[in-house]
Structure 1
Amino acid sequence: MSRYDWMEYAACAQVDPGLWHSDTGTSTGYGLAKKICASCPVRPECETHTAHLDADEYSTHGVWAGRTIKDRNDERLTTVRQERDEAIIRLLQRGGLDAEEIAVQVQCSSRTVLRVQKAYRAGLGAAA
């Protein structure tokens, strides 16, 4: 059995492949492709496959698993920011470091550290 056997069951295999790839490189017209992907029985396999392609820096233009490359890049950026903010909060909770020292450790600006600290404190106040 091939690692690509799942593709035989993909909803996209039954329709015009042009729906998933824009000649202009824009996301115009991807709405129908995303709807088809939303109900695809092998979407999880497609997501895994796409993650491997993206990780290898293979330019996977078009729609894969219901997301454009912009959607996937935005998701990765959000994840990176969340991980950075969590690291900042852990260092703030530990104490003993100022914003500059935390910024050096997390490889961001001290302004970012202060922004995360302010949001964290505001969240603590709302939770109380």
Structure 2
Amino acid sequence: MPMPDWMRRAACRAADPELFYPNAGDAVAIAAAKDICAGCPVVAECLEYAIANNEQYGVWGALTPEERRAIARRDMRRRRSEAIWRATRNRGNAYRGS
């Protein structure tokens, strides 16, 4: 599978990949990885990629796996709420004789 174009522009490209896979409780190592992400021109693309591909490990888009899971859960709840709203709105139109 070819490398996405945004990865070629990532600030972490020249860094040791191990830096982005710190132990879960190692706050200093996590902060070091996030510091590199902070100056990255493609941090948003990186985060989108990690969430879309369900990356379970490592710092991607300046977020840890736990932080990414929280975003994914929030997005899922939002999408579910929107789907319910659309369904009930359409049902209301049916009752009015639409």
> Structure 2-normalised TM-score?
0.64
1:28 paired to 2:24 = no
Identity of aligned residues (%): 34
Query: Which structure has the higher relative contact order (CA within 8 Å, separation 6+)?
Result: 2
User: What are the residue-to-residue correspondences of 1:10-89 with 2, within 5 Å?
Assistant: 10-22=10-22, 24-26=23-25, 28-29=27-28, 30-54=30-54, 59-86=55-82
> Structure 1-normalised TM-score?
0.52
Query: Residue 87 of structure 1: CA displacement?
Result: 5.3
Query: Residue 51 of structure 1: CA displacement?
Result: 2.9
Partners of 1:20 and 1:62 within 8 A in 2: yes
* 2:33 partner letter: A
5+ residue gaps, structure 1, are 95-128
Partners of 1:34 and 1:63 within 8 A in 2: yes
- Aligned partners of 2:68 and 2:26: how far apart in 1? 13
> What secondary structure, in the 3-state scheme, does the structure 2 residue paired with 1:51 have?
helix
What's the Cα RMSD here?
A: 3.1
Larger Rg: 1 or 2? 1
- Aligned partners of 2:8 and 2:60: how far apart in 1? 15
> What secondary structure, in the 3-state scheme, does the structure 1 residue paired with 2:24 have?
coil
Partners of 1:60 and 1:69 within 8 A in 2: yes
Partners of 2:51 and 2:72 within 8 A in 1: no
5+ residue gaps, structure 2, are 93-98
- Aligned partners of 1:6 and 1:85: how far apart in 2? 32
